[in-house]
Amino acid sequence: MDAFLIALASVWNDSGFAAFTMGNFAMVIVGCVLLYMAIGKGFEPLLLSPIAFGCILANMPKTGFEDSPGVMQVILYCIHHEIFPPLIFLGVGAMTDFGPLIANPKVLLLGAAAQAGVFVSLIGAMMLGFTVQESAAIGIIGGADGPTAIYMAAKMAPQLLGAIAVAAYSYMSLVPLIQPPIMMALTSAEDRAIVMEQLRPVTKFERLVFPVAVTIIVSLLLPPVTSLIGMLMLGNLFRESGCTERLSDTSQNALMNIVTIMLATGTGLTMSAESFLTVQTLLIIGLGLIAFAAGTAAGVIFGQIMKKVTNGAVNPLIGSAGVSAVPMAARVSQVVGQKANPANFLLMHAMGPNVAGVIGTAVAAGTMLAMLKG
């Protein structure tokens, strides 16, 4: 009997149950809630479900994920060494039509205006006692760009990577819930019903020159973000060249899906109880919400200014798409506009500031990296 009890005790001590804490339990509950949001409610399931499952895995004790060679360690390595975000940008570039931005370049200003959320959050984080490097990484949440947020956190504040990544991706998935109330509050029914003129056709020459020119200009101005901008524009060049269909298809489908699984699962793996259940995490999540709301509001307000300047030719709703959540934010502009006027089709117009927001967030990140790193 004694031998049996000793063997039972040995099995218990070797199991994860012996080291399973209340913090682990709380984070498993968080993971289950995120799974419910992803699968039950349909909030960005392609991102949120692997994040949620990674969170559950991260809180299983004695797995050896952090120090034992294997796929989990490879995933974590690629998270912490900025490998996955540029690959995600390659897929985004291959999936995205830059034509609306090329056809109406003045909407670059809407993408720039929406970056106000980045700097609101940066200032707020510094006021709450975060270092300037940590504040810069937190601020990028306001751009609603998960890969750039991870890229910045890995370089500037790796100890906050989990909280920053989860906040960024959570708010990206909640775009359809967060943005409409802000958009409704800052526009009238007449504003939302404005029908914009059809965009001019964009030539193939313009489509080919644009990614090359943006890569050269931004890379020379802000070398720290060359990998992000370069991969974004390379993906778009694959899309537009007309002779690299296989590369474009791989970038926007097979590669994008593989890297999304790895990046999202790896993000979840950073959500261990020890690193996530802190006051800092709550502050980051709160600052992220403020940043995202401020970016949306700034875009709509600047849209109102453009409406006045153009004598009503611009629907201010497209300003909300200046945040970097492609193409979700553009779809929200379309949905809100069509509720006010069923004949309103804003999607392509909103894609201009949406693409500008991707570039703008990368530029904001590059500026802060150049000024603050080290």
Instruction: Summarize pLDDT for 111-137 with one digit per residue, the tens.
Output: 999 888 888 888 999 999 999 999 999
Q: What is the mean pLDDT of residues 339-367?
A: 91
Does residue 7 surpass a pLDDT of 70? Answer: no
For residue 134, give both structure tokens: 């940590």
Band (14; pLDDT cuts 50, 70, 90): low
What was the pLDDT predicted at 9? 66
What was the pLDDT predicted at 374? 55
Please give the share of the chain, as a percent, with pLDDT higher than 70: 96
Instruction: Summarize pLDDT for 140-190 with one digit per residue, the tens.
Output: 888 778 888 888 988 888 888 888 888 887 777 778 888 999 999 999 999
Element (H, E) at 308: helix 279-309
Q: What is the mean pLDDT of residues 11-19?
A: 71
Q: What is the mean pLDDT of residues 24-41?
A: 91
What was the pLDDT predicted at 350? 94
Does residue 69 surpass a pLDDT of 80? Answer: no
What was the pLDDT predicted at 1? 63
Does residue 11 surpass a pLDDT of 70? Answer: no
Instruction: Summarize pLDDT for 264-312 with one digit per residue, the tens.
Output: 898 888 888 888 888 888 899 888 888 889 999 999 999 999 999 999 9
What was the pLDDT predicted at 261? 93
Q: End-to-end CA distance of the chain, in Å? A: 62
Contact 38, 52 (CB under 8 A): yes
Band (4; pLDDT cuts 50, 70, 90): low
DSSP 99-166: HHHHH-GGGHHHHHHTTHHHHHHHHHHHHTT--HHHHHHHHGGGGT-HHHHHHHHHHH-GGGHHHHHH
Q: What is the mean pLDDT of residues 242-246?
A: 95
Q: Determine the residue type at 15.
A: S
What was the pLDDT predicted at 10? 67
Q: Write the secondary structure of 219-286 as one string of H (helix), E (strand) and C (coil).
A: HHHCHHHHHHHHHHHHHHHHHHHCCCHHHHHHHHCHHHHHHHHHHHHHHHHCCCHHHHCCHHHHHHHH
What was the pLDDT predicted at 12? 64
What was the pLDDT predicted at 172? 78
What was the pLDDT predicted at 91? 95
